[in-house]
Structure formats: C-alpha cells, structure tokens
Chain A
Amino acid sequence: MTDDDKEKLDKLIQKYEGKEGFLIQLLLDLQSEMHWISKEAIKELSLRLKIPVSKIFRVASFYKAMNLSPVGRHNVCVCMGTACQVRGAQRLLDATESKLGIKSGQTTRDYGFTLNRVNCLGCCAIGPVMIVDNDYHGRVDSKKVKLLLGQLASDSQN
C-alpha cells in the first residue's frame, strides 16, 4: 500500500473510533475509496485495529458487496430477482456476458468492465433491470444492452 492509501485508511479508522461493531461499515467505506479490498489493506487494518487477519477476511469474504479482487472501470450489474427472472433476466445476462466476453463475477482483461449478478435491486416493476455504474436501467433487452455497453466502451476508448 502506498503512504497515501495508508493515510486514507487511518482517516477511515478515526471515523469509527470509540464505536462498536464498525468492521463492516469500515470495510464498505474502504471499498468505496479503493474500489476493492486488497490483501495488503486487510493486513494493515489487522495491525491497526488489533483484529486477526482471519477474522477480517471472514467478514470480507462472507458479504457479496465486498470485492476481494480488483474491479473494472465500469461496473455492470444484472438483476436476477424473481420479477426480472420471469421477464427474461437470464436472457439479458446471457446477452451481457456474450457482449463483454466474460461470465458474471469476472472482470475483462483490460479492466474495462466488471460484470455481476445481484439478487434483487428492488425495481421489480420495471424489470428486467440492470445497473451500469450507478445508473439504473429498466426494461432492458438484448438490444438495449448492446447499445448501453457499446456506448461506454467507445467512450472509454476516446
């Protein structure tokens, strides 16, 4: 970890000083700062908080929101909730996987995209739904996926 990163970590720890049960919140904050939780970060946290590495790792690996490997610049998330499922979410996921050339849970080689499936985003009425970065898109079909992702890919090349 760079000194800059270590400083960030110290700041986050300060925020929760004196509070109980903050580990999950701290890891979530750490992730929004660094986009993922690295082995080094866990080691540093362990040293500073005097919590064993194994315990931090257990928490970080239990929760889906925590990425233990680096993620792409763009985050694509396909909702697989029941309402989306009955409206063709599987086809949407297939189309997204084939467009990006990766399976869900993977990141493209150039770290352009990370694709994940999520078990329900709670926008069930407008399914199938996907999130691209922080934007929600409703009633997405394979055509719209191509358009959305194609746009992003060409944006990041420019």
Chain B
Amino acid sequence: MARLTSIQDLEILRDEMERKRDPLRREVAICTGTGCLGLGARKVVSAFEREVELRGLQREINIKETGCPGFCEKGTLVVVSPPGIYYMGVQPDDVPEIVEETLCRGGLVGHLLYTDPVTGQKAVLEDDIPFYNHQLRFLIKNNIKINPKDIFDYIALGGYTALSRALSQMTAQDVIEEIKKSGLRGRGGGGFPTGKKWESTAQAPGQPKYVIVNCDEGDPGAFMDRALMEGNPHSVLEGLIIGAYAVGAHSGYIYVRMEYPLAVENTKFALHQARELGLLGKNILGSGFDFDVSVHRGAGAFVSGESTALMNALEGKVGEPRPKYVHTSTSGLWNRPSLLNNVETWANIPLIINRGADWFSSIGTEKSKGTKIFSLVGKVNNTGLVEVPMGMSLADIIYKIGGGIPNGKMLKGVQTGGPSGGIIPARHLQTPVDFEELTRLGSMMGSGSIIVIDEDTCAVDLARYFVDFLCDESCGKCLPCREGLLRMREILDGIVSGTGREEDLQILKEVADLMRKTSLCALGRTAVNPVLSTLSYYPDEYTAHIIEKRCPSLACKALVSYYVEPEVCIGCGLCKKNCPQGAIEGEEGSISVIDQSLCSRCGICFDVCPPKARAITKVSRGLVQSKAIEGEKA
C-alpha cells in the first residue's frame, strides 16, 4: 500500500479504483456481522466459496463478507449485485441454487426473497422491502457494500472525502462551527450538543488533548455501535480524525467492550490499514496534522461506559466514575482536556462535513436533528437495526418497519433507554421519538434501544430485571446506588414471589427519590426509571401481585403453575421425559399429570409439548387445585 501524501493522492487513488473496476464482475455480499454469524453465516460463506470454485467462477464472481445491514431477523442476508437482489434466511443448502439460478441464469430464487406476510407479494431489491423503505439510512446504508477489513471499499464509496475537505478547506474553528450549526447531539444517551462539547475541549488550556470513541455499548438491547464499529469502522475513524483536528488532539483511543470481539478485530485492522495509507500518523494527507489512535479493550463492566469511568479504565484503573464537578473537556484522561463521543456520534461527523450542517439540520425535529439508529428488538416481527429521522412515531417504527407483534399478541409497551430508561405504555405509541419526548414520558433516548414487550411480559418483573441488572453492575463506590439498588431488589423480589406488602410501593418511591437526588453518577440517578415508570403506568400489575398474589401476565414463576389439560393431552410422554425434577407422572399413552409439590416451574414441559397437542397451559397459582377438583367431580 503506497502512502497517500496529499489530498490529490486520495483522489487519484479513487479514480484509479473506479477505472479498474470490472463492471461485469458480480458481487455476492454476505452479512458476517455477529447477528448473522449466530445464525450460521460462516457456513454460508464457505458454501459460496466452494460452489464458485467448483464452477470455476472465481473471476466472474466476487464474494464479499460485509458488516450488518440491520435486518438481523432474516439472517443470513445475501445480496447479489448488480442489481442488488436481497436474499434472506439463507442456509448453506440454498447456495447451489442461488449460484445456478441467479448468478448463472440471471433468474430469482423465489423462496429466499422477502414475502409480505399480508399480501404474499415478493420483494426483490432492498428498496422494495417495507423494513427498509420506511427508513432513512445514511449511517448503516453502506454496511452491506463494505468489507470492513478493506479500506478501499470505504474509499470507493467516497470515504475520507470529509477528512480531506476538513484538512484542506476548513480551519479547526470552521469544523466546530459546522458541527454546532448542524444541531448534532450526543448519541450515547445524554443528548448533549456535540459542537458545544467540541468547542469547550478546543478552548480548554493545556496539551496534550485526547479524543475518545466510546464503544462500551453496555445497554442491553442496543447494538448499533457494534454494527457500525464492526461493519464500517472507517466511518467512525474518519469522524474521530476530524474531531482530533478540530480540538487539536494528536492521540486518540477507541474503547471497545470485550463482549464485541469482532469489533475489536475489525477496528484494529482498520487502524492498521489507515496507518499504512497515511490517514493516521505524521502529516496526514500532507496537511501537517499528526494523529494516531489505539484500541483499548473493555473488561466487562457496564459502568465503564460512563465517560469518567471509561477514562479511569483507559488509565488502567478500576472503571469507576469520578465526581463530575470538573468537566472532562477540561480535565479528563490523565487530567488533560478530553473529548469523548459515542460511536454513532462520530459516524455522523463525515456526513455533516460532506453534506453540510444545513442538510443535517433539515432532518429531524426542532431540537433533535439528523437520523438515529434504533435497535428494534423483543416481541416484534422484524427485529434489527433501523435508522430513521428523529421524530418518527413509535407506532410507525413498530408497525410500518417492525411489521407489528408476532403471534397475534397484544402490545403492552415499549422499553427505551436501557436500564436507565423506562417503559412507555401502548397508549403513548403516537409519540414522536426524540430526546425531549421520551424524557417527558419518564423514559429516555439512551443509546437507542426499543424493546417491544407484549402481554406475556410482566411489568413488575421487567422492573425487577433491570434493578437486578444494575445491582450486578453498580460499582459500589457511592452508597445511594449500592444500597438503594439492593433494597429495591429485595422489595421487588418479594413482590414477584408473592410476599409483597402494600407499604412496599411507598418505600420503593422513597428509595427511588433518594437515589435520584444523591447518587454520584447517572447510573444511580437513572436506575430508578424502570421502577418509577412501571409504578406510574402499570399500578394495577403491582397491586395484583401484592394483594391478589397473581401475575396478570403469567410471567412470574412463583405465581404460576403448569397444568396438563387432560382432554387434550395425547400422552406422548415428552414432558415427562424432559422434566428435570421428575415431577410428571403418567405412562406413555396415558395422560400426564404434574405433581405440583415437585414442580420447579422451569417451563420445559411447556416448551416441549408438541404444537399439535398444546396440552400444557400456564395458569395462576392456586387455580390448579380448583381445576383438579373440577376434574374429579366430572
């Protein structure tokens, strides 16, 4: 790789690549993001390689491993270009058919195309698929076109033009003004105006200064940062270099959580290639600006995603937050001025520099500009990453893009903002999603997870889940968070196991109020949101648990029983065979009966009961006895 020593060099390289591109060569892009890998993408890649080699088509066909384009629900995703035929749910066995039908004969493999569940209509191209065509994608659109381990793929799509523009035509102050004007706000959760943050780091006295990418995406349910860092690392890196130029930093860090090994690998690769091309290092593109970056792996601590805790971790210390009376923009990493932004924030920077602040601020709502990537997960038909303009309603996201709720269930609510967020009930679905509106409803934007819950999820149990999660993740440095969470967990554990008392609700509110006012960092201050939002939106569920000792969603283990409907049991014996407690009686061929005194309510019998029988039902505890008595009478 020859080092690029000027802006012209980059343009020459791009022209040359365009000239050398063989327009007849077809491309098979296979998503190898962590999601598709979990559904077997590695085997699909090998199958393509084998098939193409077998037919001697290596010259005509380019197999490309790409990052995640978002539609994880339908993985493994394979796109054949031109013209961009979108195949879904591809298994290794489907590969010979794709090669034969599409690559050799130019036809389509119908059963692998997206099929509209209502009309039955097939969609061929990305833009024909409802999941995609209601989105507005700038940040993740290129993921399916780029091999993250090949910097030239990024450059071919216009990569690093924003950097060359910033370095050659803009002063550092110009860059900051442009970001300020764009109205971009931090995508990591807080929503602080990015340009303002940059300006205060730029103005802070002292050198060296540092720029940092926060890819410690710990919010359960959010994975947009993983997809960007894994799938298009150069877009983040380009933003980071521009940021470093703007604030006058010469070294930077990318902090990636160790739960994302592929992101660590691809980021390291990207840095290496950028260095070789001279996009990192001394005198970048002949501009006289020096900058380099290193990768720091996290070691599994949720709280380390908090900016000051992350800086402690970068220093090799325990990742506990620092008191925030001094801003990190003046005294951050090694007590030096430091600029930390989230992955998605950084990835927005090249877009703003290329297309201008006015373009960016024309998208979105009054106070929340641009697009936002959400991870749409949980009980929704089309799960995955969706990028939409700020201000789209939750209903549009869930129904138009997400395709609604599976199995004809009722939507109960939406959890946003991770453990610091809250649960928004179904009646507020028309709310436009932006920073202000979500906060107004007692939740928050957070990093952008939208977890859809249906009638089977218990609101109290979900609140308990988050409190339990945070008990595990609280660093324990300050008392309100450490002890407050433990007490809340104790109370909630009691409620979901049927030993809750009426006065518990008042105590929960008091503890929450204290934690909110006195915790050291945002983890403790916002930890109360899941509890307070469920208390205010689902008070009936709390009282049902406490007074009637009943879980309306039949989700709380201690308050349900499993019961075999004798009329429908086919006596296959599968439940008995799989019961870890030996709690099921009945010979093969005769009806099974669950011994409630031995049953641990693990639900395995419920899972294994064949769909044609569906003889095992979940009922509220106490009902089983009355059912049995009814049975005897009959």
Which A residues form the contact surface with B (CB < 8 A)? Answer: 20-25, 27-28, 58-59, 62-66, 80-87, 91, 94-95, 98, 118-127, 129, 134, 136-139, 141-143
Q: Is the CB of B379 within 8 A of A86?
A: yes
Q: For B38, give its contact among A58, A87, A118, A126 (CB under 8 Å).
A: A126
Q: Is the CB of B38 within 8 A of A82?
A: no
Asked if B260 is at the interface of the complex by the 8 Å CB criterion, the answer is yes
Q: Is the CB of A24 within 8 A of B449?
A: no
Q: Is the CB of B258 within 8 A of A119?
A: no
Q: Is the CB of B299 within 8 A of A64?
A: yes
Asked if B82 is at the interface of the complex by the 8 Å CB criterion, the answer is no
| A17 CB, min distance to chain B CBs, angstroms | 14
What is the CA–CA distance of A95 and B466 in the complex, to the nearest angstrom?
A: 22
Q: Is the CB of B378 within 8 A of A83?
A: yes
Q: For A22, give its contact among B34, B73, B301, B316 (CB under 8 Å).
A: B316
Asked if B608 is at the interface of the complex by the 8 Å CB criterion, the answer is yes
Nearest opposing residue in chain B for A58, CB measure: B318
Which B residues form the contact surface with A (CB < 8 A)? Answer: 34-35, 37-39, 72-73, 75, 217-223, 226, 258-261, 296-302, 313-320, 334, 375-379, 383-385, 415, 418, 449, 451, 453, 457, 462, 465-466, 469, 472-473, 475, 578, 580, 602-604, 607-608
Can you list 6 A-B pairs with a CB-CB distance of less than 8 A?
A22-B316, A25-B297, A62-B319, A91-B607, A125-B35, A138-B39
Q: For A127, give its contact among B222, B377, B602, B604 (CB under 8 Å).
A: B377
- B317: which A residues are within 8 A, CB to CB? 21, 23, 59
What is the CA–CA distance of A25 and B314 in the complex, to the nearest angstrom?
A: 9
| B173 CB, min distance to chain A CBs, angstroms | 31
| A57 CB, min distance to chain B CBs, angstroms | 11
| A115 CB, min distance to chain B CBs, angstroms | 15
Q: Could you list 15 further interchain pairs (A-B, Cβ under 8 angstroms) beyond the known A119-B472, A125-B223, A138-B35?
A: A20-B316, A20-B334, A28-B297, A81-B221, A83-B220, A83-B377, A83-B383, A86-B457, A91-B603, A119-B218, A120-B222, A122-B217, A125-B72, A129-B38, A136-B37
Q: For B313, give its contact among A20, A24, A91, A124 (CB under 8 Å).
A: A24
Nearest opposing residue in chain A for B468, CB measure: A80
Known A24-B313, A86-B451, A91-B607; judge A122-B259 contact (CB<8 A). Answer: yes
- B378: which A residues are within 8 A, CB to CB? 82-83, 86-87
What is the CA–CA distance of A129 and B296 in the complex, to the nearest angstrom?
A: 26
- A143: which B residues are within 8 A, CB to CB? 607-608
Q: Is the CB of A82 within 8 A of B415?
A: yes
Known A120-B219, A126-B72; judge A83-B608 contact (CB<8 A). Answer: no
Q: Is the CB of A62 within 8 A of B301?
A: yes
Known A24-B299, A83-B377; judge A63-B34 contact (CB<8 A). Answer: no
What is the CA–CA distance of A80 and B466 in the complex, to the nearest angstrom?
A: 11
- B377: which A residues are within 8 A, CB to CB? 82-83, 124-125, 127
- B299: which A residues are within 8 A, CB to CB? 24, 27-28, 63-66
What is the CA–CA distance of A63 and B300 in the complex, to the nearest angstrom?
A: 5
| B255 CB, min distance to chain A CBs, angstroms | 11
| A116 CB, min distance to chain B CBs, angstroms | 10
Q: Is the CB of B316 within 8 A of A21?
A: yes
Q: Is the CB of A86 within 8 A of B453?
A: yes
| B445 CB, min distance to chain A CBs, angstroms | 16
| B115 CB, min distance to chain A CBs, angstroms | 19
- A122: which B residues are within 8 A, CB to CB? 34, 217, 222-223, 226, 259-260
Nearest opposing residue in chain A for B466, CB measure: A82
| A21 CB, min distance to chain B CBs, angstroms | 4
| B258 CB, min distance to chain A CBs, angstroms | 5
